[in-house]
Chains A and B, each alone.
Chain A
Amino acid sequence: MSEFTFLFRGRDTSASPEQMQKTTQKWVAWFKELNEKGHIKDPGHPLEPAGKVVMGKQKTVHDGPYAEAKDIVGGFTLIEAKDLSQAVELSKGCPIFEVGGSVEVRPIQILNM
């Protein structure tokens, strides 16, 4: 088993409360399914859309990230999977695609000794 992070981007800000409730239920169902199959290392957290960005040698502090909603990381999860292709398959169940979002699947780098 290897570990991966799912980085979720994009959220539907125009959804009605009913739609939001439905979407949340889909997420809960998706997490439940992954968890039952033993793929959830840590469910992770959603992230506030804005914070601060610290940059450069001067360590200048900016408000941000100022990017389009679809490019902002909205949350992360730690996943256990056999390999990258299985992790990718797992990500395809994510309800975020229904609202035009994306999932970035990144293997967690480890040193095999």
Chain B
Amino acid sequence: MVAALTRVFGVHNIALAEDVVQDAFCRAMEVWKFRGIPENPSAWLMATAKNRALDVLRRQRTARTSAPELGRLLESEWTLAPVVDELFAPNVIKDDLLRMMFSCCHPRLSEEAQVALILHILCGFSVGEIASAFVSGHAAIEKRIQRAKKVLAGSKRLFDVTLPADFSARLPAVHRALYLLFNEGYHGASAESAVRAQLCHEAMRLAAILLEHPRGATSTTYALSALMCLNAARLPARVDASGKLTSLFEQDRLLWDRKLVLEGLKLLELSASGSELTAYHVEAALASVHATAPRTEDTNWATIVSLYDTLMTIHPSPIVALNRAIAVAQHEGPERGLEEIDAIEDRKRLSAYPFYSAALGELELRRGRHETAREHFRAALALARNPMERRYLERRMNACERDDSQHVGFYEEFQNPPLAFESCLQGVRRS
């Protein structure tokens, strides 16, 4: 809604657009208290916001502060209402979302700021919600968003999605932001699974909007959507009934969302149309191998290892190498896995990453070295980033005590580190 109104008022007037939405929302809340909530609340809100926008525009007409793109159309009463009506038509709103999505991925903004801005403006998350999703301070997020909005306002007008060259130039940044948004939900630090699922769904919704645009529906966008669907399909099984993280190996695969798996596979097929092969393609392929294995034992580890090999050539990173080593261990035994980990070039950069130590612990446990395993899990525990990870690692540590040879396997954190860890890696790189 803010996206639509920003088009009406101009990008330098985001605050006004937000005020109008806020006002419409408050009014609706008051009236609905007494008269009940209507069948289609969002349509009501939209209509209310539209009327408020008309009021504001009428009041401001002489001031000419509105969208330069629409110029004079908003200045005459003859054209004002029809133009605003048109701007609020469902298909136009989709374009507005797209325009705003591209605007938010402004090259002058850091990736973290882009994601925060998308969440705030396009997904309607409050500062508090974003702060809790990123496990960050309220003030820090507020500042980040304020600063980002200023940059956006400075750009004078919204991104023009009708210019093919600009569109393709900005598209990778949009992919990246949606990918990070999804990962923040999938691996992020928020302990509330509801928050996390919401982040994933928002990323998928925005990716779907991108797919609907002729220039947005590239092979890479298909790959990105496929990877989101295939991973999201596992969301219902990732946290068990008691709120405990479960690894890929112990998940109840019957809980996986079959519909999303099928959707993901279809998208993956569509992504194969071009000659382009991106990390998203490979990650989607990896997710599809897991998603189509009825049991852990049925997983085709050889394929997984070779996919990681490909990923290493496109996007080499110690985390990808670590996950490759884990796949090798699945395929050829824990000793081989440990060798591979040993051979990771810039292994030092993984030292702050809890699941590096956890992987070592897991492999040592498998070859029966309980004491060593326990030490690794203890080290991992000290690095845990949130209560869910902490509980998971404690559980693994206890498994060493119990002389528990039954291995539940690795925490399902694949090649895509969440934002928080990405910046932690960068910190290591800098020092």
Contacts and interface: CB of A to CB of B under 8 A. Distances in A.
Interface in A9-41: 11, 16-18, 20-21, 23-25, 27-28, 31-32
B39 interface: no
Nearest to B33: A27
B276 interface: no
B33 A24 contact: yes
B32 A17 contact: no
B25 A46 contact: no
A46 B25 CA distance: 14
B254 interface: no
A75 interface: yes
A43 B35 contact: yes
**A-side interface mostly:** helix
A57 interface: no
Interface residues of B, number: 15
A25 B36 CA distance: 9
A44 interface: yes
Interface of B: 22, 25-26, 29-37, 126, 128-129
Query: 8 tightest A-B contacts by CB?
Result: A27-B33, A46-B30, A24-B29, A20-B29, A43-B34, A24-B33, A24-B32, A46-B34
25 contacts: A11-B30, A16-B128, A17-B22, A18-B126, A18-B129, A20-B25, A20-B26, A20-B29, A21-B29, A24-B33, A24-B37, A27-B32, A27-B33, A28-B33, A28-B37, A31-B34, A31-B36, A43-B35, A43-B36, A44-B34, A45-B31, A45-B34, A46-B30, A75-B30, A75-B34
Given A25-B37, A28-B32, A46-B30, 17 more contacts: A16-B126, A17-B25, A17-B126, A18-B129, A20-B25, A20-B29, A24-B29, A24-B33, A32-B36, A43-B34, A43-B36, A45-B31, A45-B35, A46-B31, A46-B33, A75-B30, A75-B34
